[in-house]
Structure 1
Amino acid sequence: MNDSPASAPLEGGWRTGGAPSLPEVFRSIAVPSSGAGWRKLAAFTGPGFLVAVGYMDPGNWATDLAGGSAFGYTLLSVILLSNVMAIVLQALAARLGIATGRDLAAACRDAYSKPVVLALWLLCEIAIVACDLAEVIGTAIGLNLLFGIPLVWGVCLTGLDVLLILLLQRRGFRRLEAFVIALIAIIALCFLYELIASQPAIGAVLAGFVPQSEVVTNPTMLYIAIGILGATVMPHNLYLHSAAVQTRAFEPTPEGKRDAVKWATLDSTIALMLALFVNAAILILAAAAFHTIGRTDVAEIQDAYRLLTPTLGAALASTLFAVALLASGQNSTITATLAGQIVMEGFLRLRLQPWLRRLITRGLAIVPTVIVAALYGESGTARLLILSQVVLSMQLPFAIVPLVQFTSDRAKMGGLASPAWLKATAWFIAAVIIVLNVKLLLDTIGVTGG
């Protein structure tokens, strides 16, 4: 039996039969047809953690540190709301992939005209380069802090991670997922130590999760808040998740698909709650260690590294901070590679060797980073890191609107189309993101106050 969607009869609303996402691992992971629920969850655990990596990458560190040191715990509400948005949107991405056998890029190619498809592809490639830029900077900073390697050389060394990607891909998708989960565990444990050492005020932390109007009315706070949003809800993760869920060999029946949606959603929700912990921990650490003593200017990762141990009086604080940063940067390179492959194949049906695709994306990120690092040093790379997250946020609507549109369409999704409450929630999230981005754009070019 051929499970490829290319052999399936055409469904309503789609122009072509499509082709399998990540064909080398398509439906390669067995799913038990019966047995205990934990066995089903174990079989589906993995894609959600691949996605969660993008929600705790070095770009998050820059925006969370800047927000925590400048505004204390206030922006915790933005992290929480961003994570709720991420859980909903990633659930939709999994639903799309399972119901239609198409990733989001392939769905766009099947549904829109060629000029629209090319425009969406170009915007998505820009977002992936922006994401890769954050990973390059984060990895280079981690190498600098731990081993004293100059930033420029650290940036150049990040090009070698293509060897790690190739090694993991050859060992199978499950091995790749296990490696990612192991690095996430290292990051979480490092920040658990940091939280214990920083001893934040619990009452102030809880109050920070309550939204404040100042987040929208203060242009500086809004800029960082949208940077957090861009760093949390990653556009390329929507493409990645809709493809990664198709590595599971679930029953291609309506009941089998419905069951797969349930377990895939649980997988991504658990993983994203772990990402919420890491993101909140970074901001809480910055607020407790720096904002409370009047250091509202700590927006750079290097400054945080130098100040953590003397400020907290914990010998391992700075070292574990750098270890977690390096793990975060390495982890993020894996998911960016997969997302780049999915986007290019889905939108253009153009397949490149993974190493070549990786080198192209990484090269586009390395060149500007080397220039900025050489000319402006640490401060320049820090500003570039935050800017990359704002660029990601600006691209979000162009991924979210098609996703919500497709998953709301019963002709395309069949019985797995979003129910009314989920459809309303998804469109509300899309509207909030678009309004915030327009507000940021107007503030940036000086049309409104500030």
Structure 2
Amino acid sequence: MRSQRLSWLLRIAGPAYLVAVGYMDPGNWATDLAAGSRYGYALLWVVALSSAMAMLLQSLCCRFGLATGLNLAEACRLHLPRRSRIPLWLLAEVGIVACDLAELVGSAIALQLLLRLPLVWGVVLTGFDTLLVLVLQQQGLRRLEALIIALVALVGACFAVELLLVQPDWSQVAAGLLPRGGFLQDSHQLYLASGILGATVMPHNLYLHTGLRAPRKITPWPGLT
């Protein structure tokens, strides 16, 4: 019974972890670090509001996929005129390239910082890792989800250790969650706030979430039937 319940939880939580990976990208961290290093906790409220906006959109996408049986791309193809579909497709392709480029370069820089690996070899190794993930996906979505859950847990543990080492001033953290209007008068602060919003609310994650509902059937909690 315990193994059945664990399998049920993984089946439910798997898509959420796949979506969560989209929010652990170098662009997101870079904008947050840049804002924190220059303005401290002053823009923390932008991070909180952007995250709340992203959670709302992800929830709507999940409901859309469950209610219609379509992912967002399929819905655009079926319900939008051709003059709108083509630009959306081109923008999606450009967005994919830009996002993958940031992940590729960010991973290569991380490998260089950690292992002193040259950037060229870091890019090659990161590309090879991507191919391994694609191969693992062919073996079944559950195995891919298990790998992603393990990686997300590792990142979460690293964040917990960093919080213990940094020991932030929680009173200032709480104050930083209160919205402020002064950032409109500082062009650089406004630029960083826009970067935080753009790095947090990502369209490709919305497409992904609507497509993750298809390959699974939700059964009742084990023991209730």
Equivalents in 2 of 1:245, 1:210: separation in Å? Answer: 36
Corresponding residue for residue 198 of structure 1: 166
Give yes or no for the alignment of 1:62 onto 2:18.
Answer: no
Task: Deviation per CA, 1:156-191: give whole Å up to 9, x if none.
Answer: 332222331233112210110111111111111111
1:123 positional shift: 0.8
Letter in 2 for 1:111: H
C-alpha deviations, 1:389-431, integer Å up to 9, x for none?
xxxxxxxxxxxxxxxxxxxxxxxxxxxxxxxxxxxxxxxxxxx
2:186 matches 1:215: no
Percent of aligned pairs with the same residue? 54
Are 1:177 and 2:168 matched, yes or no?
Answer: no
CA contact (8 A) 1:44 1:248 kept: no
Shift of 1:39: 7.4
Deviation string 1:225-274 (CA, Å, 9 cap, x unpaired) is 111111111110000000012222248xxxx9xxxxxxxxxxxxxxxxxx
Match 1:123 to one of 69, 87, 91: 91
Secondary structure in 1 matching 2:23: helix
Partner of 1:86: 54
> In 2, are the aligned partners of 1:85 and 1:233 still within 8 Å (CA)?
yes
Match of 1:249 in 2: 217
Q: Is the 8 A contact 1:168 1:176 kept in 2?
A: yes
Q: Is the 8 A contact 1:49 1:180 kept in 2?
A: yes
1:96 maps to amino acid = F
Whole-angstrom distance in 1 between the partners of 2:78 and 2:193: 35
Q: Contact (CA 8 Å) 1:56, 1:232: kept in 2 or not?
A: no
- Tell me the CA shift for residue 77 of structure 1: 0.5
Query: Offset of 1:220 from its aligned partner?
Result: 0.7
Q: Which entry has the higher C-alpha Rg, 1 or 2? A: 1
Do residues 132 (structure 1) and 95 (structure 2) align? no
Structure 2 residue 165 is matched with structure 1 residue 228: no
Give the alignment's Cα RMSD to 1 decimal.
Answer: 2.0
Residues 173-231 of structure 1: CA deviation (Å, up to 9, x unaligned) = 01101111111111111111111111111110111111111233322111111111111
Partner residue of 1:102 out of 59, 65, 70: 70
1:245 counterpart SS class: coil
Structure 1 stretches of at least 4 aligned residues deviating more than 6 Å after TM superposition: none
For this pair of structures, how many residues does the alignment match? 217
Q: Write the letter of the residue equivalent to 2:115.
A: F
Alpha-carbon distance in structure 2 between the residues aligned to 1:217 and 1:99: 44
**Corresponding letter in the other structure for 1:230:** G
Indicate conservation of the 8 Å contact 1:140/1:155, yes or no: yes
Equivalent-residue separation in structure 1 for 2:47 and 2:16 (angstroms): 18
Compute the TM-score of the two structures, normalised by the length of structure 1: 0.46
**Larger RCO, structures 1/2 (Cα 8 Å, 6+ apart):** 2
* Deviation readout 1:112-152 (Å, 9 max, x if unpaired): 11121010011111111111111011110111012111223
Measured in 1, the distance between the counterparts of 2:93 and 2:160 equals 35
Aligned residue identity for 2:166: S
- Assess, with a 3 A threshold, how the Cα gap between structure 1 residues 106 and 214 changes in structure 2: closer, same or farther: same
2: CA distance, partners of 1:216 / 1:85: 20
TM-score of the superposed pair, with normalisation by structure 2: 0.90
- Write the mapping of 1:24-43 to structure 2, written as runs, cut at 5 A: 41-43=9-11
Which of the numbers 41, 44, 61 marks the counterpart of 1:73? Answer: 41
Q: Is the 8 A contact 1:68 1:75 kept in 2?
A: yes
- In 1, the alpha carbon distance for the partners of 2:58 and 2:179 equals 23
